Chain A
Amino acid sequence: MKKRKPLSTSSEWTFELLDTYDHEIARIAKNFKLDTYPNQIEVISAEQMMDAYASSGMPIGYHHWSYGKNFMDTEKKYRRGQMGLAYEIVINSNPCISYLMEENTMLMQALVIAHAAYGHNSFFKGNYLFEQWTSADAIIDYLLFSKNYIKECEQRYGVDAVENILDSCHALMNFGVDRYKRPEQLSMKEEQIRQKDREAYLQQQINELWRTIPNYYDTKTEEVERRFPLDPQENILYFIEKNAPLLEPWQREIIRIVRKISQYFYPQKQTKVMNEGWATFWHYTILNQMYDEGLINDGYMLEFLQSHTNVIKQPGFDSPYYNGLNPYALGFSVMSDIRNICENPTTEDREWFPELVDTDWLETMDFAMRNFKDESFISQYLSPRIIRQMRLFGLNDDDDEAHIEVNAIHNTTGYQKVRHILADQYNLGSIEPNIQIYNVDVRGDRTLTLRHYQYNRKPLAGTLDEVLKHLTRLWGFSTVLETVDNNGEIIQTTKTEIKH
């Protein structure tokens, strides 16, 4: 064994030390073939961390009361010691911005650098969802553009008018994403030019909904009435932006800003387990490598292990601390398991993962990181070993039955079923209600009809009325929400009238 020459032994950090550690971690990461954006590591205070929290980590954001609310909530909880702040926040941008808290010890800073600046960073750069759906190069510019644009609107049209639009957009934010169609890449300059163009173009155009000249063919053909839009639209905010008859150009632009930001976060929602698992796996691997090379001493290692085990703690379902599956724990287990299968396969592994056995673990893991999202990742890689280790079991809660039934446990017959249910649990398509724009009464009173297609008979909850009021405000005319059950029959209709 080599003689240890630790980089430092005190828990205090300095900028020189941060630099040294980052240098070593970068070297190790490179040896493991992690491909990352350049890093921008920013040291911030607790208060700045709370600012970052309030705006979901975005370094630049427009003003809105809800961010103030988040901030006050975080601040209070932090002050009273009810919650600690996260050690890190990392932003999917190029260069990749990660925040370090000044209160962290040297070891924690090293852990965060490995986790965020190399783990998450390489995930952002490599994963197909991020690559296709977000543009890391442009996000900061776009946020700056949106902040300035909204500020300008506030000056021109008043804070209240802008706040009204933003409130309405936020209520529908989850329905402002394209799930299947890939959005175009963003760039601030183009965006500014395009925004001007759009505004000018819209001014000249007639809106389809306002067409009053009778159609010549109408008299001849008594066809089945065509719906508008022809196909149901999943992106409600997009539809409103393009088709709401009464909105001013600047209001459409604000809708666009909100849905663009919503779209930017969409991949993160779908890769929580993978992303955290990947980052956790790499901080674990990198820190262990540093220990093996003698760069950190035993004291550091113990502190690291304590933090690490806290992060991947998974209380059982009957624990008072149980709060669902911990994405860090699940992700880390599966990621480590992939390496394990590649390096030391068991007979079971050979049977379940013949394509992984005896491959280069770096390449296999890289492939897994690049080409999956949580749902597909779990159905591809969740092994019987993990199901046994975590003692996963499935519950079927059907309100047609009198009892909840245990339908799968960690046994031969249960593995596939557990995998299947767990994968679906991370499928955004089944987590979020499926609500689509169905029809506009073009020839009548312009009522907008939406359809909620029920999934497993799950009802809608939350402040539905409020959301519909916001929708009605944006649309400018009455709206109707129809709930359609599995047989395609409308079982419930909610109408929201416009108040004039």
Chain B
Amino acid sequence: MTRLIDKRINAKNKSAVNRQRFLKRYKSQIKKAVTDAISNRSITDIESGESISIPAKDISEPIIYHGQGGKREMIHPGNKEFVPGDKIKRPQQKSGKGQGNQASDSGDGQDEFVFEISKEEFMDFFFEDMELPNLVKTQVTTIYDKKKSRAGFKANGIPANINVVRSLRNAHARRIALRTPYKRELKECQEDLEELLKDTSSNTAKIEALKEQIVFLEKKIKSVPYIDEFDLRYNNHVDVPKPTTQAVMFCVMDVSGSMDQSKKEIAKRFFILLYLFLTRNYEKIELVFISHHTTAKEVTEQEFFYSRETGGTVVSSALKLMHEIASTRYPTNDWNIYIAQASDGDNWYDDSPACREILSEKIMPLVQYYSYVEITPDNHQSLWHEYEKVEQSFSNFAMRKIVEVSDIFPVLRNLFKKKDELKSAS
């Protein structure tokens, strides 16, 4: 009468398709929410899921019902002191005696529809219309990684890889093949036996012989095993070489006295966004942090963002160090090199032309992309003007100015705008 079924093992995520449909339908609203969210977030949790909130009325399904007004009688529970005839003041209605078709525009129903999206979805929305420039290396890198891939079935293997359906199908086929001759013979014997039994005059010895034969055949049929070792089939996996991409990202930052903590914070956000963006394009990314004042050194991430130094600024020292690291540790035929430099624009005056020289001659030929952000509310100094010359001669060099935290994302977007958008814009 009752069937008990354990459904827990069944497919979950029955709603996954519906959920995707929803996200697709409200893409523009969600994107706006994602962009708003990123500016409010602290850096440490930038790469987590997000709860997105969009106005409920944007996504409500149309419906008609009876609105306020007219005459309505209602029953409520919990009467304490009312007696018939009591008059009660009407509570203030927000929408008043409005006509039905205007109710949707008036005050009510401003609730937000809040839901969670995963980290992946968040990043998809976030970086949706951005792309990496110069993704193709001049020399195509071919680093191969092994990846397991299914490749049919084989007759031996480990028990974990047994393919049940295949194995049972083989067993079934074998059973049919081995039993059929016996079954045919058995049928014939049974038919003969029946004939003989009908005929009362037939001889008993023959009957006995047939009966024996039947028993023998039945035994034969029974002895065909249900499943045999050579029925077993195993899923076969082979290693497939898969080209992987790898990149190294150099973060270069001025840590001289003029870079205060708030400027560093801006730089950090910029670096992190850039890093996240790169992780979406490369499977493997290494980070190199170079901080500099008058001299440059390679530091850890912690030191990079939080150590405070004093003194003047010689940018070329960092560029030299970077070139040294890049040419010794990251040969260009294996690595895609990205450089992000942040500074407040201060530099020792005579050093700026030297920077341009190092960049143009040594560094730019090596790198995929070089982005420079200047974090300053003031006017540009010599470094910016020298860099402008570099920008003119190299298409993979970009520079922008950032004043406030809120500029970071637009600048990043602008730097990595999709090509076709750039074309249509210009």
Residues of A that sit less than 8 Å from B by CB: 15, 18-19, 22, 26, 38-45, 47-48, 50-51, 54-55, 63-69, 71-73, 75-76, 79, 95, 99, 102, 117, 159, 163, 167, 170-171, 174, 314-319, 322, 325, 390-400, 402-411, 413-414, 418, 421-422, 424-425, 431-433, 435, 454-467, 469-470, 492, 494
Contact = CB atoms under 8 A, between A and B. Distances in A.
Given A41-B3, A95-B3, A421 B75 contact: yes
Interface of B: 1-8, 10, 12-15, 17-25, 51, 59-80, 82-90, 97-101, 103-104, 113-116
Given A425-B73, A459-B100, 19 more contacts: A51-B15, A68-B20, A68-B22, A72-B115, A75-B116, A76-B114, A174-B63, A318-B80, A325-B77, A397-B71, A403-B88, A403-B90, A433-B66, A457-B70, A458-B72, A460-B67, A462-B67, A463-B64, A494-B101
Given A95-B3, A461-B68, A318 B115 contact: no
Given A38-B3, A432-B65, A460-B64, A316 B22 contact: no
B7 A42 contact: yes
Contacts of A392: 75-77, 79
A72 B50 CA distance: 13
Contacts of B89: 403-404
Contacts of B80: 316, 318, 391
B19 to A, nearest CB: 4
25 contacts: A19-B2, A42-B7, A48-B10, A51-B14, A66-B22, A95-B3, A314-B77, A322-B78, A325-B75, A394-B75, A397-B71, A399-B70, A404-B90, A405-B85, A406-B83, A422-B75, A458-B67, A460-B65, A461-B100, A461-B103, A462-B62, A463-B62, A465-B104, A492-B99, A494-B101
B59 A69 contact: yes
Given A408-B84, A460-B67, A117 B90 contact: no
Which of A26, A454, A461, A464 is the most central at the interface, judged by chain B CB atoms within 10 Å of its CB? A461
A390 to B, nearest CB: 5
B81 to A, nearest CB: 10
A397 B64 contact: no
Top 10 closest A-B pairs, CB basis? A316-B78, A461-B67, A68-B18, A460-B100, A68-B22, A466-B62, A457-B70, A458-B70, A403-B87, A317-B76
Contacts of B77: 314-317, 325, 390-392
Nearest to B3: A40
A456 B84 contact: no
A464 B85 CA distance: 36
B64 A462 contact: yes
A467 B88 contact: no
B79 A65 contact: no
B255 to A, nearest CB: 42
A37 to B, nearest CB: 10
B422 to A, nearest CB: 29
B15 A67 contact: yes
B71 A456 contact: yes
A76 B113 CA distance: 10
A117 B2 contact: yes
B78 A317 contact: yes
A462 B18 contact: no
B87 to A, nearest CB: 4
Contacts of B90: 397, 402-404
Given A68-B22, A392-B75, A405-B87, A462 B63 contact: yes
A65 B5 contact: no
A390 B78 CA distance: 6
B17 A63 contact: yes
Which of A40, A48, A494 is the most central at the interface, judged by chain B CB atoms within 10 Å of its CB? A48
Contact of A171 (B13, B62, B68, B71): B62
B9 to A, nearest CB: 9
B2 A319 contact: no
A171 B63 contact: yes
A31 B83 CA distance: 46
B22 A72 contact: yes
A121 to B, nearest CB: 10
Nearest to B23: A68
B78 to A, nearest CB: 2
A169 to B, nearest CB: 11
Contacts of A433: 64-66
B378 to A, nearest CB: 46
Contacts of B73: 394-397, 407, 421, 424-425
Contact of A463 (B60, B66, B72): B60
Given A47-B12, A399-B70, A63 B1 contact: no
B1 A26 contact: yes
B15 A22 contact: no
A324 to B, nearest CB: 8
Contacts of B21: 63-65, 68, 159, 163
B351 to A, nearest CB: 55
A159 B25 CA distance: 11
Contact of A43 (B5, B70, B113): B5
A11 to B, nearest CB: 19
B78 A462 contact: no
Nearest to B52: A72
Nearest to A318: B78
B18 A41 contact: no
